[in-house]
Structure 1
């Protein structure tokens, strides 16, 4: 049987209609079974630039262009480049080339053009330009020789990149190159050293192994990281059908950047943190890593979790799309990959705890507790007890937000069961200092909260998590066993103390135990935590992704500018930076539109949406209007409807096709759209006055950081066009964004 490799720059696939794609699939099935079948008409090309090139008959009109590579140790390998009409395929194949880059060892396939000559680059200009005339890359300190001899970039592309006057022109040049060339040029734009770029892409110092013949060198090059940006082995017919039907050969399911692949395949001695800005592929790495661990050990018990159920549904759908044959576990602790929001994970663990729950209650609350089965949010209970109990606590502290955070971050996190314990416990990370009388007042409310929950037959989500974590500790002490083997966490920046207690208790401290994907700039819930306080040590095992695949360079600049001037801290309280963030895509500059009043803003938004809908190939559901609050969301749905634009409000329900979507900025987390309008970006709505109204002064700075992060999250949902509107005075959080 022949081996099949798909090239990601197969431009002939996405333009094919469904009937032709089915014929291509049939062609590949026959090719894999018997490549000598005369029905396939696998024919060499007379006078072709590369003797390996072949064409094959898909039908009387369509022909596939392939390279045949013969390895004496295995069956022949066919590298598929695309399908075109007969005459076009012949012309393209005649000039097609396949080679190993002599500088870095990456495999390169070119359709319709010859490989670059291995000759020296053009001589330098005799009179160097003045500093003010330097191109974008020259001003950073690079030369043409760095690009050609240092990285192996095609001399023609390298010359064009060196002439680019600014970042936008450089992005245009990068888009013309092979996948690895575009990626390397983007790293050059940030001033990264040549050797670092070579290391990031897995370039080899000795590209040619003279002990191998030319075909064997090509097979070896297929396994190199940068080659895998363009080429992928297809392992079975089901995977082949998914690739063909999807049509997007550069999709995340098949092709990964070498840096992403490194974190998928690496084994770590303990917990590992992968950070990165919005759109840098952290979630992609998490999904691929779950699959990799499951494939390495089919009996492994793996948990893939994230902040909420909506995001978890997306993770599960993407994991199944990546590998439909993967075993999905129904319950945490079963063989396979369990995928669920972290609150559901805690409930699932607690259901399996058996008699360990009773001892966990004793440790956590100081006595046995009969909890009801109803899980509940706790705001209403805190509000009720604060109003009914004369605790003497300051009004600005006797709020649901402060009391809930204190209960979770201090009381539950430290297993506090008595006033004496609470009076002595350290409260690191809490902005408000509490005197002893204030702690006594808080404890009165904690006891009242617990009594009320008992009477109502409810248990809050953080209490479920704390109980589940403690029950796991009881089980481990008793049986010296852990429930799972590997835990992978996405959107980890929004998790609080009892979340981390549960995650640490799930798996033994050791190789590949916890893989943490997060971006501290996207923390829009809760307060920052320090992982080492939960026995999770990531010092020395933390890396950052910087290449954005979703957002255009212009939109990325806007989103990052929202964060400027604010200090963010990571999960070990180190400084979090946006330096080196870059985008692989160009696009229009964001539009910032000031409106006289709400009616004018609605008119502006309606006109913009109508204009987009009138464009060819724009799917209505690829358009999103994001608001700060649910009230504003509903107001925009009504207002747009009155102006002839039917839009759908999205809450907990899944987004449905056929209409533009209107949702809160919080709801848009984890999603992406082609076109985004951030509406109501004025001082009346952003930051939210309701959110800041009752925040203690000591915690106001952290609350403002969350508001700034929310605007960053919302801005970075846009793949292509971004529009920001407001009426009245624009929000101070927009800062100098342009």
Structure 2
């Protein structure tokens, strides 16, 4: 007998209190050990249309709903007595007549229309009626069934208009919802795979996304310790076509937060490794934190194919760069930001007597060095004089550039004297080595490179990747969202030999963030986002697959009032049964961490302030302690929580006043404002179900944009 759990069970378990969850887990372990144990007090649910539903008594009020047949024992749902029974009475488990996938089918209840006499009123004019067209009237029954729509719901689907679609989605299997959303937004979804006659309904890919076999107690314990990870294992057919396609050159998958870009990248890496037995694949991203999270997800994805791990490397770009440099050129010391700032200050002071009245802040000098001189490895005056300062809107005359070049040459000399280098120089040297290897026909270190969060790649990193795998078939595959670019200024990929034009696709179905949160967060960005090479990501038509509460945006008279309000909100989430580790609390920078800690203490919640290492642990489901997670918006990148509070969004905090004041020319303000908007967008879209955004009056101007309905 196969012992399974359903996603409906883990979702309902998460809504219980901590003590209730412990009781349920104990019962689940007992059932796994002996499903027919008479001490479990299993009672058949006679009112259910599905005669295989049983109820297991946990305590006086809690009931665990199970589905039991001769070959399968399935944990379905857990709740208090009446709610648990209502759930079972309104559902049945069956194989879909067309696809063959095991799915929950919600019983439609016939509601008789009751005509209530009323006082006659003036008839409505046709102009006042707003009748929206049915979205799926043109679809045949065969098509709807092939999308996974249960037969009982065909009439409802055919009658659904724009307003009814998301409400209807709450009653249908996920594969049907996604196909209908795709149709509603102008797409042409592929039909679900039809299983051969006699096939196991639970073996169908659509069934495996919601039902999971538990082979032993350790596996069950892991499954109950963290939320159902639907999108690590299952790949929707709409995404699969981009995973398995052959590309003549570099390719890129785009899409707003929550549309499954990371999952596509993971599956692309596995596909390349499994379809070409001798190939070596690098799966990488720009930070150690995100690389750790990718490694954990990949481990679970290929758990049944452990030998693939021998040819799949998961490392951050800095980590792989350091390893290759050590192997090819020896050990190297990378200058930290603090070292660079101190050396820049010394270089400026050294050159100041010959610079006359030239005035630039250290922040501007550092950004000019990092984004222009160091990034492009400009090693002589003429190169700096002639470079197009793309993304650097501050205008500099030739005389100003000549003066600044003195400072940069002094900095370069100080770095050389101390035998330290920069990441930009390291990646540029590695790119040169890789180009030389290719020129003499040496075997490439990696045959394929898959890059997640590609929007935050730097110039030298992309140059290195282009040299590493840019000329091989299917060599480079990128996943990213220009709307989430928070670390790097824009630059031309094409100029570095990475041209994704014609091989760039945008995903439009949001699996992670509720419709309400997504709509509010999207107001921070325009309907289209374009890169320097003219590739455009059209964000219009993106849809979420589930509903949730409306986000709450609040401004308060002072910090104390804000802290009290956030604490009340946090307590309310925990009172609903949400574990503390399922909640994220974000602020703009370290300067506001104290406010977040004060809110956590006022709510009497244990909390952890995340650094890069702890953020990586938090990104691994089940690894984090049951404590509220506090961090800056930058570190929130790549994390996901059921509920998120973004606080301290004050007038001079977002955008950060320090960044605004460091701008030497008003034209540079646009880039500052864009990245600060992106940062708030990233923070808000870490939330799945509930979002709170707060600040002290007047508040950030971005909050007005989020609330603007016009």
Q: TM-score, normalised by structure 2?
A: 0.78
Taking a change above 3 Å as real, the CA distance of residues 480 and 623 of structure 1, as seen in their structure-2 partners, is same
Taking a change above 3 Å as real, the CA distance of residues 83 and 627 of structure 1, as seen in their structure-2 partners, is closer
Report the Cα offset of residue 273 of structure 1. Answer: 0.3
Determine which of 171, 195, 201 is the counterpart of 1:176.
171
Report the Cα offset of residue 131 of structure 1. Answer: 7.5
**What secondary structure sits across from 1:737 in the alignment?**
helix
2:162 aligned with 1:187: no
Counterpart Cα distance in 2 of 1:709 and 1:21: 43
Taking a change above 3 Å as real, the CA distance of residues 54 and 381 of structure 1, as seen in their structure-2 partners, is same
Determine which of 359, 362, 367 is the counterpart of 1:399.
362
Structure 1 gap segments, 5+ residues each:
29-48, 68-77, 115-127, 208-214, 358-370
Report the Cα offset of residue 480 of structure 1. Answer: 3.9
2:340 aligned with 1:322: no
Q: Which moved more, 1:446-455 or 1:259-268?
A: 259-268
Where does residue 735 of structure 1 map in the other structure? 704
- What does the per-residue CA deviation read over 1:59-92, in whole Å, with 9 as the maximum and x for residues that have no partner? xx9986569xxxxxxxxxx89876799xx9xx99
Higher relative contact order (CA 8 A, sep 6+): 2
Report the Cα offset of residue 11 of structure 1. Answer: 5.5
Report the Cα offset of residue 259 of structure 1. Answer: 1.7
Counterpart Cα distance in 2 of 1:591 and 1:300: 49
> Map of 1:385-534 to 2, 5 A cutoff?
385-390=347-352, 392=355, 397=360, 399-400=362-363, 402-412=364-374, 414-534=376-496
Counterpart Cα distance in 1 of 2:533 and 2:201: 39
Taking a change above 3 Å as real, the CA distance of residues 616 and 7 of structure 1, as seen in their structure-2 partners, is closer
- What does the per-residue CA deviation read over 1:614-662, in whole Å, with 9 as the maximum and x for residues that have no partner? x142211222221112111124324653675553322234154232222
Determine which of 137, 146, 151 is the counterpart of 2:144.
151
Counterpart Cα distance in 2 of 1:133 and 1:452: 75
Where does residue 693 of structure 2 map in the other structure? 724
Q: TM-score, normalised by structure 1?
A: 0.76
Where does residue 611 of structure 2 map in the other structure? 651
Structure 2 gap segments, 5+ residues each:
14-22, 36-48, 57-63, 79-84, 109-123, 619-623
Counterpart Cα distance in 2 of 1:93 and 1:632: 48
Confirm or deny: 8 A CA contact 1:96 1:111 kept in the other structure.
yes
Counterpart Cα distance in 2 of 1:707 and 1:515: 27
Determine which of 347, 352, 356 is the counterpart of 2:322.
347
Report the Cα offset of residue 455 of structure 1. Answer: 2.9
Confirm or deny: 8 A CA contact 2:649 2:695 kept in the other structure.
yes
2:246 aligned with 1:267: yes
Where does residue 705 of structure 1 map in the other structure? 674
Confirm or deny: 8 A CA contact 1:672 1:719 kept in the other structure.
yes
Determine which of 572, 597, 600 is the counterpart of 2:561.
600
Report the Cα offset of residue 427 of structure 1. Answer: 3.9
Counterpart Cα distance in 2 of 1:155 and 1:328: 42
2:597 aligned with 1:637: yes
Where does residue 623 of structure 1 map in the other structure? 583
Counterpart Cα distance in 1 of 2:137 and 2:705: 35
Taking a change above 3 Å as real, the CA distance of residues 240 and 491 of structure 1, as seen in their structure-2 partners, is farther
Report the Cα offset of residue 690 of structure 1. Answer: 0.5
**What secondary structure sits across from 1:576 in the alignment?**
strand
Where does residue 33 of structure 1 map in the other structure? none
Confirm or deny: 8 A CA contact 1:66 1:80 kept in the other structure.
yes
> Map of 1:224-303 to 2, 5 A cutoff?
228-231=205-208, 242=219, 246=223, 251-303=230-282
Where does residue 189 of structure 2 map in the other structure? 200
**What secondary structure sits across from 1:347 in the alignment?**
helix
Where does residue 538 of structure 2 map in the other structure? 577
- What does the per-residue CA deviation read over 1:78-121, in whole Å, with 9 as the maximum and x for residues that have no partner? 89876799xx9xx99997543442xxx5746456869xxxxxxx
Counterpart Cα distance in 2 of 1:13 and 1:522: 29
- What does the per-residue CA deviation read over 1:13-41, in whole Å, with 9 as the maximum and x for residues that have no partner? 9769556766887899xxxxxxxxxxxxx
Report the Cα offset of residue 714 of structure 1. Answer: 0.9
Number of corresponding residues: 646
Where does residue 373 of structure 1 map in the other structure? 333
Q: Which moved more, 1:372-381 or 1:515-524?
A: 372-381
Counterpart Cα distance in 2 of 1:284 and 1:421: 41
Taking a change above 3 Å as real, the CA distance of residues 571 and 394 of structure 1, as seen in their structure-2 partners, is farther
Where does residue 517 of structure 2 map in the other structure? 555
